[in-house]
């Protein structure tokens, strides 16, 4: 048999012997890791020092992991109100509201809304009210696309950003949402954050908005009411979802803290019995 074949065979036999040993070592280490708090606690009542040192190491490893998990839990659950506010900027994916595979459109909404410091839920509500997520929608007044962009708004916002664009781009979800979000951003600035007036202007035009009075058109009144209601519903759903997650994390953190505190008590009792119990 060639020397190379002999060496290969030896390596294979070495691996076959090593793997069971490695598996056995992993099982023993895991066993000691899980049982180390109990063994240390029981050993604290013994008079003779017969405990294997690996049990002490396993217990310190257990305590380190518990402390690490507790610290991670504190970081994760820190500032639940901040996390709730962040969750408010996440578009809902309720399948009762969404028809078909709209995940790419949702990603476009998130990206453009957050880039312009607008709640994506508000953009979602506008698109739901305007076109019901139909990219090829065209209104009798000539508004087009998902966010029902009027030709003059399209010319004002899109062509100044891309001189090579054409009118057919208005049906592109990416371009349409980009223009719609920028137009909404400017309306919100114009009306100093008044979402109701911005929605009224978005639907009826700035010239038809009369601050302090009801919307001029009946259709606009229904549009503003329905869009605001949908937006608020989505915000509540987002807040409820985030609060539920925060509560679960808080419960887990309390459990981890309890385990860590118990381990410290066991360690204290064991050290006391070994140092002062004689």
Please give the positions annotated as active site: 130
CB crowding 153-185: b at 16 or more within 10 Å, else e: bbeebbeeeeeebeeebbbbbebbbbbbbbbbb
CB crowding 5-14: b at 16 or more within 10 Å, else e: eeeeeeeeee
Q: How many CB atoms lie within 10 A of CB 102?
A: 19
Interatomic CA distance for residues 247 and 131, integer angstroms: 37
Helix orientation angle between 120-130 and 218-276, rounded to the nearest 10 degrees:
150
For the residues of 112-138, what is the DSSP string, one character each?
Answer: HHHHTT--HHHHHHHHHHHTTT-TT-B
**To which residue do tokens 């013994």 refer?**
46
């Amino acid at each position: 048999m060639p020397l190379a074949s002999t060496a290969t065979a030896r390596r294979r036999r070495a691996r076959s012997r090593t793997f069971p040993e490695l598996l056995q070592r992993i099982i023993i280490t895991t066993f000691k890791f899980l049982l180390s708090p109990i063994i240390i606690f029981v050993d604290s009542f013994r008079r003779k020092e017969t405990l294997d040192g690996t049990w002490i190491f396993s217990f310190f490893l257990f305590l380190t992991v518990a402390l690490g998990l507790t610290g991670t839990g504190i970081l994760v659950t820190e500032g639940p109100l901040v996390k709730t506010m962040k969750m408010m900027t996440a578009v809902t994916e309720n399948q009762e509201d969404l028809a078909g595979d709209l995940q790419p459109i949702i990603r476009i909404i998130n990206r453009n809304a957050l880039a312009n410091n607008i709640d994506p839920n508000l953009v979602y509500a506008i698109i739901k009210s305007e076109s019901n997520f139909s990219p090829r929608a065209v209104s009798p007044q000539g508004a087009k696309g998902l966010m029902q962009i009027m030709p003059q708004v399209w010319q004002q916002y899109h062509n100044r950003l891309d001189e090579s664009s054409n009118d057919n781009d208005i049906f592109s979800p990416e371009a349409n949402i980009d223009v719609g979000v920028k137009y909404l951003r400017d309306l919100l600035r114009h009306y100093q954050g008044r979402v109701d007036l911005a929605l009224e202007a978005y639907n009826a035009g700035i010239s038809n908005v009369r601050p302090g009075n009801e919307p001029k058109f009946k259709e606009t009144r229904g549009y503003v009411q329905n869009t605001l209601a949908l937006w608020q519903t989505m915000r509540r759903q987002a807040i409820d979802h985030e609060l539920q997650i925060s509560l679960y994390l808080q419960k887990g953190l309390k459990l981890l803290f309890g385990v860590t505190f118990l381990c410290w008590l066991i360690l204290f009792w064991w050290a006391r019995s070994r140092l002062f119990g004689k």
